[in-house]
Each structure stands twice: as structure tokens, then as C-alpha cells.
Amino acid sequence: MCGIGVQEPLLVSELPYGLCDSCGSVTLNPQAMLDGAGERGRYLKHNNSLADRGYRAYLEAFLDGILNFEGLERDSIQRVFDYGSGPSPALVALLGLRGFDARGWDPYFDPHGEGFEGGADLVTCLEVAEHFRNPVEGFRGLSGAARPGGTIAVATHLLSSDREETERDFPAWWYRQDPTHVTFYTRGGLEAIAERAGLSLLGSTGSNTYIFRRETVE
């Protein structure tokens, strides 16, 4: 996972996972992951539309948390790139309504989505990082979509840093039940992987959104 530790076997409901003995993060064995068609079909069942008041409120709260993050210069955010925008790019639409120049990309539904020349001021990754089959590659994609010094906001639910707690609670954890969720991070694991992609963790908003900065390349 983090590239430092060894993956120790963790069998849950006949599904083979690996638990990193360094950072405590958990990954599903690639052989047990859905194929591309199965994963895409699962995403098509999501009803993520701005017409859904509850979902729209969820997106509004996500954006408000980022834009009100202490230390972030809101006026510097003009170009926003949504990494993993899904079959209905609702977040891109909402950003447009808020006056941002917004674009999106998705490996299944908008694979040709282009980023901004020079990178975006803000890259959003809302409930996408847990789908990364190769977390380092995924975070490098996030980093590459941002301008040097730009902000990356990643929303995902984390595991406890306590290994015994993970081994006890992971089997029944609701977040594990989605078959497209294949990577589960501890905070330490998330930070370690992000660092390998040139990102530094600035802090968090709420309980599950983590704010990173792409370090300036000298």
C-alpha cells in the first residue's frame, strides 16, 4: 500500500485482503476485484443528480468545507478539476453554477476529459480514492491534474490507526460492503501515499475530507 510495509493476509467473508504491516491500510487482492464491466455497471446504479436534494446538499457541504478551509485563499480558486466525475458529473455542474471554470474526468464515463493547461487551482476527489486499484498511480493522477502549489481535496472514510481495532471492526464495516471499494486507508497510509505523489497533507475538513497541496517544483 504505502510502499514501505509488507502486505499480511486478511481473509474476510472469503475475500482476500492485504493489511500493510507499516501503515495499517488494507487492500483487496486484485484477483478478487470486479472486472471493468462489473465495476462500470455498479456505478450506473448510482443516482447522483442535482435533482436529488439530499445529494445536492451533500455536494454543497463538501465544497463549503474545502472553500472555508483555514489557510486556503478562496480568491485563488478559479479552475477546478473533478477527478472521477462519474456517469452524471453533478459536482462539475454545481461548480459551474457557483461560477467556477470546472471540468471533469472519469476512466469509464469521460476518459477523454482534459485538464487545464498548467493544472487546476483545485482538484476534487470525492469518494473516489477508495476505488483506486493502484493508490500511488491514482494519487499521481491527482497531483498531475493540479498546478504547482494547487490544492487537492480527497474525501474518503479512513480506518483506525489501531491494528487490533481494524482487525476487529473491518469485517462488519459498511464501507467495505461496496464491491467497488478496494483500498482502505489509515491517515498515515493516506499521507504516505500522497507524499510519494508530491503532495503534502495540510489538514482535514469535517470527518472525512483531507486537504493536500501539490508542492512547487523548483
Reading the block at residue 142, the C-alpha cell is 491527482
Say how far apart CA 96 and CA 35 lie, in whole Å.
33
CA distances from 164 to 16, 21, 24, 160, 215 (A): 18, 12, 10, 9, 34
For the stretch 81-95, pLDDT in tens is 999 999 999 999 999
* Of 73, 98, 94, residue with least CA distance to 82: 94
CA torsion sign for 29, 83, 179, 165 is positive
Q: In sequence order, what are the beta bridge partners of 10?
A: 17
3-class DSSP assignment, residue 124: strand
What is the per-residue pLDDT across 153-192, written as a single tens digit (0 to 9) for each?
999 999 999 999 999 999 999 999 999 999 999 999 999 9
> Is the overall model pTM greater than 0.75, yes or no?
yes
pLDDT of residue 218: 44
Q: What pLDDT, on a 0 to 100 scale, did the predictor assign at position 61?
A: 96
Would you call 121 helix, strand, or coil by DSSP? strand
- The CA distance from 75 to 115, in Å, is 20
- For 7-214, CATH gives 3.40.50
Where the chain has pLDDT below 70, the residues are: 1, 216-218
Q: Are 110 and 82 in contact (CB under 8 A)?
A: no
Which residue intervals of the chain are DSSP H helices?
36-44, 53-67, 90-97, 135-145, 163-169, 187-196
